[in-house]
Amino acid sequence: MKTDEQLMREYQSGSEEAFGILYDKYSSMVYAFIRKRMRLSEQEDLFQKVWRQLHEKRHLYKDQPFAPWFFVMIRHLLIDEYRSLGRRGRELKDELFDQAFNTQTQDSDIEEILSRLPDDSRDLVIKYYLEEISYVELENSTGLSQANLRQRLSRALKGLRRSYEE
């Protein structure tokens, strides 16, 4: 049985059969991932975009673990969709806390949850996710690079998850 990575390399070489196997294996996971994050009326379009994007970006795949690479690509598509639909703030806020705590978090709980973070991390999370300040604006106001901002936000979420689970 071939690994996902072998199938992806074959797909890069033009194998429709390899694509079919990947599609069969991942289509239900992709749809479930999308279903949790998009309105019903938008789910099918994004589902189709995912597979079109895989086809268009297959040349970028470089022998890394396939599933994480694929789901990062899907997440980027999802973020692009949120932005294009003008809904970035509320949906990403919901996604942020759902990912951090694997639960539905009410707005009234956000303040208590964020109090668990160090001041600098809390400020970044509030500015990016709640106040919807862009990476470019944060970069200008903090002097941190966008890569550093992403890393700090990611670490803040991991810290929140750990403290919430204790």
pLDDT of residue 165: 55
Q: What is the structure's pLDDT at 122?
A: 82
Write down all domains in the chain, each with its CATH number in brackets: 4-84 (1.10.1740.10), 88-165 (1.10.10.10)
- Cα–Cα distances in Å, from 34 out to 12, 98, 104, 117, 161? 25, 14, 17, 29, 22
First vs last C-alpha separation in the chain: 40
130-81-51 Cα angle (round to 5): 140
Q: What is the pLDDT, as a whole number, of residue 100?
A: 53
Give this prediction's pTM: 0.52
The confidence score (pLDDT) of residue 89 equals 46
Q: How far apart are CA 133 and CA 124, in angstroms?
A: 9
The pLDDT assigned to 62 comes to: 92
Q: What is the pLDDT of residue 86?
A: 55
Max CA pair span of the chain: 52
CA dihedral (143, 80, 90, 128) in degrees, to 10, reads: -10
**Sign of the torsion angle spanned by Cα atoms 22, 28, 32, 38:** positive
One pLDDT digit (tens) per residue for the chain, 166 residues = 899 999 999 999 999 999 999 999 999 999 988 887 777 778 899 999 999 999 999 999 998 899 989 988 998 888 888 777 654 444 555 555 555 544 444 444 566 677 778 888 888 877 876 677 777 888 888 898 888 888 888 888 777 766 655 5
Q: What pLDDT shows up at residue 39?
A: 75
